[in-house]
């Protein structure tokens, strides 16, 4: 079990540029989540996938943001036309949701180290 | 909608002293509750979680938390602080009703930075 990995760890870009982040979840985890964390705040939910299906998106996810998980494994988060307000830490988490046994909603989300985005 | 309030953005204790980090939640039904710890430049690590079994939950690194429905609280405690406990701690809530679109996401509090003095 190698844990959740994210790439890159740091990204500096100029306003108006597009950026893409990648998240590799723990192997066999069927759920994948994206959160955003700004300085001094707790993480805020952006979106999540069960396998390749995107099940929920936050209102924080404007039309400049898009996330994919094409084969139910890794995921990408793209931000188009970046703005200075997009500067934040982008966190990815994964979990394994079973149909039986574990109570629904009780599965543990394991977080990656995050990608820190700075928009100049 | 559920929410979480962490009382005190900064808590400072001496090494060996009791650690108490406060968390109150707002939810129409008892939710699932989590405490995570974040060390500088790292992701979040789960300390413990409440899933409607025992109200006193024991976690890693000697931490525990007690779910009190009457007080809508889930405070995190540790009897004796260690220097390595210095980090930021987040309380999070997750909706427990079957169905509904918010079943997956965690809602986090603003965090409490714990400082441990020698």
Q: Answer yes or no: do A41 and B111 touch at CB < 8 A.
A: yes
A11-34 pLDDT, tens per residue? 999 999 999 999 999 998 999 999
Nearest-CA distance B51 → chain A (Å): 6
Q: Distances from the Cα of B69 to the Cαs of A93, A103, B32, in angstroms? A: 28, 19, 12
Distance from CA of B114 to the nearest CA of A (A): 13
3-state secondary structure of A10: strand
Residue with tokens 């931000």: A79
Helix (H) or strand (E) holding B87: strand B87-94
**Mean of per-residue pLDDT scores for chain A:** 90
Residue B28 has pLDDT above 80, yes or no: no
Q: What is the pLDDT of residues B62-78, one digit of tens each?
A: 999 999 989 999 999 99
How many other C-beta atoms can be found within 10 angstroms of the C-beta atom of residue B16?
A: 11
Set of chain A residues whose Cβ sits within 8 Å of the Cβ of B41? 113
């Amino acid at each position: 079990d190698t844990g959740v990995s994210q790439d890159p760890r740091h990204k500096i870009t100029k306003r108006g540029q597009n950026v893409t982040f990648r998240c590799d979840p723990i192997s066999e985890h069927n759920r994948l989540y994206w959160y955003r964390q700004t300085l001094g705040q707790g993480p805020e939910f952006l979106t999540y996938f069960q396998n390749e299906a995107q099940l929920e998106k936050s209102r924080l996810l404007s039309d400049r943001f898009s996330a994919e998980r094409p084969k139910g494994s890794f995921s990408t988060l793209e931000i188009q036309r970046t703005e200075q307000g997009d500067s934040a830490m982008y966190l990815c988490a994964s979990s394994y949701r079973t149909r039986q046994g574990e109570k629904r909603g009780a599965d543990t989300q394991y977080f990656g180290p995050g990608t820190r985005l700075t928009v100049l | 909608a559920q929410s979480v309030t962490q009382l005190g953005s900064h808590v400072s204790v001496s090494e060996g002293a009791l650690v108490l980090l406060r968390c109150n939640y707002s939810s129409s039904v008892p939710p699932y509750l989590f405490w995570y710890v974040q060390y500088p430049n790292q992701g979040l690590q789960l300390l413990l979680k409440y899933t409607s079994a025992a109200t006193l939950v024991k976690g890693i690194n000697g931490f525990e938390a007690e779910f009190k429905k009457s007080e809508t609280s889930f405070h995190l405690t540790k009897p004796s602080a260690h220097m390595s406990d210095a980090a930021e701690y987040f309380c999070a809530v997750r909706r427990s009703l079957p169905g509904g679109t918010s079943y997956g996401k965690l809602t986090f509090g603003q965090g409490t930075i714990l400082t441990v003095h020698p």
